[in-house]
A and B are shown apart, each in its own frame.
Chain A
């Protein structure tokens, strides 16, 4: 066989001893294979990379479900096994309202989100009958994180299988290109899960933590929906401090709450200051404070819309203070840097209030975010 190979390589210009000829033959073979199958080999390498990430996503999804079931069993003391209910919960979906005629879409979306929220809370109460209100909120957050991981896994698996089935380089390539970002988000949800299950404050709670620190020791009244407000003397002004009601995992509806407080004060508000966790860019430090203008609030946009509507009606200036962190920090247990940034953020809020309002004015300070693990 070696003699035949030698004759063959000699015909293609290979000379020298048998080792040189073998190496020459192998390189010729590689050249031919890569010429005809290069793209396919590249695709298989990409499929393998996607497969590795999918493997990791499956692990995260399974762990999330396991944690959720264990927490429900531990806290909720259900009489039957909650696994089938959890499976059903993980596949819940929400259909966004039709936007062909966009007039009034915010109210429609708000209504649909209210229904979703109520439905999921009822489901959690059925799964964990022994849990109190705070625990229901925390369990709902835990299940939502598990739901997000389940959804990410299913979508990535869908495109992976579709790409593999059709051997479409472009489907696989697109998936492989966005995977690092998808994995970062999935890892964030995965670490959030434990925080939600245990009721620990998360990075997104920076806003409510600042509000809680400002209102602590003053009487807090409930305002719709799921929020609290306290009247606090602040640098010679009266600050109406707003946050979601804690310590359960809850973001409340700050849009509704700000609107209510402005109307209760007949629009006589000198400024609205919103404090929230803001996404940092790579290279920026966690816990950095930045200041700006506008509604500092994430989510589907309903609350931002309502706040903007209210301030426009009464011509109230709207300022924003953000504490920078990345998506992983925002949904996982609060980092020390974020906890330490609270005092710096309060100083920045004081500066804004002193510079932009007069003594005796009323200002609204809103701590936006999930108040899990933070009281008032």
Chain B
């Protein structure tokens, strides 16, 4: 049930898509008629008007389609990788790996590969964020 509702939320409505495609077709027709009018010796104003109508509607339909797709893309949240830092208290070796379910800070893990007798420990779990915001200068 939840899958169905999620899919319906992430799809662009068929109705809107149909309208966009119809507008695209009509604007293409307007451009062709403008070209025809030019070769048939119609006044230049008619050609320009039809050409303008064709391109403007085409641009508007394209913009609406682009916006709809952008909205869909904005719904998907990105999950940056979560890093687990593992340390050995005796030889101070620090390693990192991707987070695994069951990890927690100060969890004891298997003995250190170097000094063998000391158990390794998780000392930090974090995610690194690439800052999108511009630094504040005021």
Contacts and interface: CB of A to CB of B under 8 A. Distances in A.
B14 interface: no
A200 B71 contact: no
Nearest to A375: B106
A145 interface: no
A247 B103 CA distance: 9
A198 B101 CA distance: 6
B106 A376 contact: yes
A88 interface: no
Contacts of B107: 247, 375
Contact of A199 (B83, B101, B127): B101
B99 interface: yes
B95 interface: no
Contacts of A19: 45, 48-49
Contacts of A63: 6
A337 B104 CA distance: 18
Interface in A194-240: 194, 198-201, 209, 212, 216
A162 interface: no
A30 interface: no
**Majority-rule SS of B interface residues:** mixed
A209 B102 CA distance: 17
B92 interface: no
Interface string B92-123: 00000001011111110000000000000000
A245 B3 CA distance: 36
Contacts of B138: 283
A253 interface: no
B104 A374 contact: yes
B2 A65 contact: yes
A336 B106 contact: no
Given A55-B9, A198-B101, A200-B125, A66 B106 contact: no
Contact of B136 (A17, A52, A283, A374): A283
A229 to B, nearest CB: 16
A271 interface: no
Contacts of A260: none
A246 B79 contact: no
B126 A335 contact: yes
A333 B82 contact: yes
A275 B49 CA distance: 69
Interface string A315-342: 0000000000000000001111111000
A211 to B, nearest CB: 11
A335 B104 contact: no
A149 B71 CA distance: 20
Given A212-B106, A336-B129, A62 B5 contact: yes
Interface string B33-53: 000000000000100110000
The 5 closest A-B pairs by CB, nearest first: A247-B104, A375-B106, A339-B126, A66-B2, A336-B126
Given A198-B101, A201-B105, 6 more contacts: A62-B6, A66-B2, A194-B79, A199-B103, A201-B104, A335-B127
Interface of B: 1-3, 5-6, 9-10, 45, 48-49, 71, 74-75, 77, 79-80, 82-83, 99, 101-107, 124-129, 136, 138
